[in-house]
Each structure stands twice: as structure tokens, then as C-alpha cells.
Amino acid sequence: MRRRAMGLWTTRYAPQSLKEICGNKGQVDKLQQWLHDWSDSSKCGFKKPGRDAMNVCRAVMITGPPGIGKTTSAHLCAKLEGFAPIELDASDACKWDEHQQPVVRWMDGWVETMRQTQQESESPIRRVSSWTKSTACPLVTGGVGALNAFIKTKIPVICIANDRGAQKLKPLIANTFGMTFRRPEAQAVRSRIMTIAYKEKMKIPANVVDQLISGSQSEIRQVLNMLSTWRLSSSSMDFHEAKNLAKINEKYTILTPFDVTYKILGPYAFGPNVRETLGDKMELYFHDHSFVPFLIQIKHTENYLKTQPVKVRNLEGLPKMLKQLELMDQAASSISDADLVDALIHGTTLVIDAIACGVFDGGGYGGQNPMTFPRWLGQNSKQNKLSRQLGDVQVRMRLKVSGDKHEIRQSYIHALFPHIVKPLIDRGAAAVDDVIERMDGYYLSREDWDTVVELGVDTQKDDVVNKLIKPTTKTSYNSTDHPIPFHKARDLRKVPKKLLGGPAPDLEDVFDLDDEVVDVSDDEKKKVKDEDEVAADKLFQTSKPKTQSRKGKTTTVKGKKAQNFM
């Protein structure tokens, strides 16, 4: 007890029993039960699912935001079930080397030691349970593989991670039982914090504690740390102090673009009683400055039609219809404006968008619309894909055809349709030879045929067409030889050439060059005599950008003067 009194508050008041853990009660119980049954399930080869269907898994993966008691509950459950926990941090391994090899070796070493320990400790109860924490620093793929192998041993493994969706955890998810921990509710945390404050002889009212909790987003660890530092100077705290303290200790976590979007477009983001200032909202934008404005823009565009503007609520019948159309028109054109602004100055869109939204809905947005994944992204990637495929088709046809991509799409596909697709629908396998002859004439391959079909819309839509053609007729293409216009670089294993993409010339640079060229053309008349000037010109080209920019400035001044004269 005395030793505990010396430690940090977080260790001093670490939960000693399951009762003291805040929130996630059900999950913790499940975890304990699983550990309890582990040796039995191991004996029967993990065949019996048990009450929670957890006993078929050799390992559990706990995911959730930081500071909500994942590690604590894992430790506690292990101790209660008689395991000696060993904690392993995957990020330690990553620090050593970025290559996979050492990580795997490191893991192997671990497994070895584990086996030894296991042999030494004869009693079956004193097993070891190991933690692998793959937090911010993700496991290297090899590491996950090694961990997967490790899971197969006779040790229960609890993996702890923050982000379940992380790509690198994919292989683990298949082998483990997923368990998500949520942030506990403010009330659950409040009582615990109040108890601790009381024990530490601090006088803190409930609303102040609430402020601290909401400020740290229910992160118990952080609240305790804040309180312990505060305790050094004072034993009471009022509301404003709490607010400031929370503000100071605010973690600058990077929100995902979707979270940000939700915050901005969420319920009453522009209502009359919002505490966040416009500045705060603009700050949200910097969480992901390239994607957020974009996402918001898409969200607006896709959602504005589904909401009912406040202004038409009192109207009925035809006037309502007209008014609504009018408002829709305004919204649509303001979105169009926003896109133009975006094209000019990337970044201010958010403000304009957000304000445009506020003006339009007047707080009636209500957040009833579920946040769906924007369609624009899907459509855009489809467009890119098809456009690339169309490019391939165009290049193959190029030896015979003069048109560009768009011409191929707009005229040729329509013209080729009766020759290469229609016969297959009408005559089936009998038409294959004709079709192939036609395709060879334009060097089209089997994939290009697919592209031609895929590009169709309306009655020539790909699924409509593909339904009409028997799949067997399509396979006969590969049985004969076909001319090829060229080999793809990919097939020839060409080594790609690196582009020395220096920073693109900005507008000032362009202006600079412009002037330079004008100068040269002016000088053209007296070009004959001065070869020295050419040398000077060369020198000028090799000179540092600094001088260039200076020159640029002088020329701009000149340019202005010239304008004035005119």
C-alpha cells in the first residue's frame, strides 16, 4: 500500500476489481470468461464456442480510443484468472528497424523464451498471457505474420490496438475475436473521479468534473493526470479553471475527415446557441486540409436536396413548390460558386461552403441525414478507370483511326457496336469469326471488347448487353492468333524513367519568362554583332534563382510602367 501511495495517481487508483472499471462492463466480463475457459478450450482444440461464442478463438483483439481502460481491464482479468501478464509493445520493434526481418526474429526469440518459461513453470495455472500493443506505430506486415504464428502457441494472447480498421491489422482480425471498447459515459467516469478527488482531499463540484471529462473526451487517464498536477498547487477548482485546464491539455489528435465533416454538418452546427466560434470551426478544417473541404463540398451537394428548407415550412401547395425550387436554385449556384473559388484558391472553400450552408438551411439541417459515403468519389474513380481503359482502346486503334479519345467514345463505339457486339447477340457463336476479323482490323483485344461494352449507357449498358451474350462465345477469342499494334511497356519490363519534377513555375515565374522572351525578340534586330551577349545570356541562365527573381521584380515594375504609359 505504501509503495502504491508513491506512484502516479493513475497507478495508485488503478482499478483493483472489475467493479472499479468504468464502462465497457459487458466486454470486460466476456474477456474474463474467455480467459477463464481458455485452458479448457485449448484442450478440446478450440472447438466449443461457449456462451459468448468466444472460445473458438485463441486470441482476442481489443480496440478502442486511448485512455479508456483497455490495458487495465486486460491486466485485471488476467490477474483475476491467475495468469501472469507479459506486456509487449510492437512499436518498440518498429523503432529498431524498418525492415521486417528483425521484427520477425524478435518475435521468434520471444516465442522461444515463452516456450522455455512454459516448460519451467510446470503448474498449468501459472500460464503467461502476453500483450501486443500495436498503437500509433503500426506493425510491419512481417510482424503481424509473426504475431499470427505466435497466437498458435499455448499462450492466450490479447492484442490491443487503437484503430481496428487499419489495413495492417487485417491478417490479425481473421484470427482473433474482435472486441471494441467505447468511451465510457461521463456519469460513469464522474463518480469514479469524484471518489478519487475526495480521497485526495480535493473539493471539486460535479459540473467541474464534467467539464474536465468532456474536455479530455472521456479519457480517464488524462483527467487523473490533470488533477494530480493541479493538486500540487491547489485543492479546489472552479468551472473556469477546469475549462482552461482542459483547454491547455487538449490533445491535438487528428480527426478523420469523416469525423470533421460530422462535426461541421452535425446537428445545430449553425444553431443560435453554439459555443464554438467560427474560428473554431475553421480550425477543424486543418485536420485534413486537402480532403475535408472536398468532402464537405460533396456532402452538401449530395444532401441539400434531401432537406426541407425552413423558409418553405409555412407555405403550402404551389407557392411552396416555387419557393423551394427558387431556394434550390440559390443553393446549387452557391455550390457552383464554391467550386470556382476552390479552383482558384484551394482552401477557402470550407469557410464559404460552411457559410453557404448556414445561409441556406438556417439551422434546419438537423442532422437527420445519415452520413453516407459520398457518391462522388465512387463515380470519379469509375470515370478515371473507364477513361484509362478508353485511352488504351484509342491507342490500339490509333494506327487506323485519327480521332482522339472523345471521338472514339462518341462516334466509333456507336459505329462499332453493330459490327462487334450486335452479331454476338443476334447470331451467337456463328458470328464469332466475323467479329474477330473486325476487331483484328482495329487491333482490338478481348479486354478492349469488354471496355467497348462497359462504356455503353442506356440500352447498351454493359449488364444489359452481357446478359444477352452467352459466355462461351466470348472465350473463343483466345484460341486464335491476333495482331498486336505494340507491346505494353509493362510486358517488356521497361525501366521507368524518373521525372525531375521541380516545383512548377508559379504565376510570377511565368510572367518573368514572358518578359524575358519579349526582351529577346526586341533585341533580335541587333543580334548580329554581339556574341558576348549570348555568353552573358548563358551566364544569366545558370545564375542563381535569387538574381532571377530580382530581375523579375524589376521587369514587373517595367511592365506596370509600360501599362501606365499606354
- 101-130: contacts with another protein (CB under 8 A): none
Question: CA-to-CA distance for 404 and 392, rounded, in angstroms?
Answer: 11
Contact code string over 235-274 relative to another protein, x by CB under 8 A: ----------------------------------------
Q: In the complex with another protein, which residue's Cβ is closer, 21 or 439?
A: 439
Is 508 among the residues that bind another protein (CB under 8 A)? no
Q: Among 132, 176, 301, 555, indicate the residue that binds another protein (CB under 8 A).
A: 301
Q: Does 498 engage in binding with another protein (CB under 8 A)?
A: yes
Does 442 interact with another protein (rule: CB under 8 A)?
yes
Kindly identify the residues of this chain, within the stretch 339-368, that bind another protein according to CB under 8 A. 339-340, 342-343
| Residue selected from 46, 198, 486, 540 as contacting another protein according to rule CB under 8 A | 486
- Nearer to another protein (CB atom), residue 120 or residue 522: 522
529 near another protein, rule: CB under 8 A:
no
If one asks whether residue 416 binds another protein (CB under 8 A), the answer comes out as yes
Q: Is 329 in the site for another protein (CB under 8 A)?
A: yes
How many residues form the binding site for another protein (CB under 8 A)?
82
Q: What sign does the dihedral 439-442-447-451 (CA atoms) show? A: negative
- Nearest approach in angstroms of CB 508 to another protein is 12
Q: Is 535 in the site for another protein (CB under 8 A)?
A: no
Cell numbers found for residue 9? 495517481
173 sits near another protein (criterion: CB under 8 A): no
Strands 128-134 and 84-89: parallel
Q: How far is CA 487 from the centre of its chain?
A: 36
Q: Closest separation between CB of residue 490 and another protein, Å? A: 8
Which residues of 38-127 form beta strands (DSSP E)?
Answer: 59-63, 84-89
Q: Is 56 in the site for another protein (CB under 8 A)?
A: no
505 binds another protein (CB under 8 A): yes
Q: Give 496's DSSP letter.
A: P
409 touches another protein (CB under 8 A): yes
Angle, helices 446-454 vs 375-397, to 10°: value is: 130
| DSSP output for 367-436 | T-S--PPPHHHHHHHHHHHHHHHHHHHHHHHTTT----HHHIIIIIHHHHHHHHTHHHHHHGGGGHHHHH
**Closer by beta carbon to another protein, 213 or else 424:** 424
Instruction: Compute the distance between CA of residue 253 and CA of residue 276 in angstroms, rounded to an integer.
Output: 18
Alpha-carbon distance of 188 to 233, in angstroms, equals: 27
Residue 150, C-beta contacts closer than 8 angstroms, at least 6 positions apart: 107, 110, 111, 114, 130, 157
Contact by Cβ (8 Å): 432, 381 = no
Contact range with another protein by CB under 8 A, out of 109-117, 126-134, 163-171, 450-458: 450-458
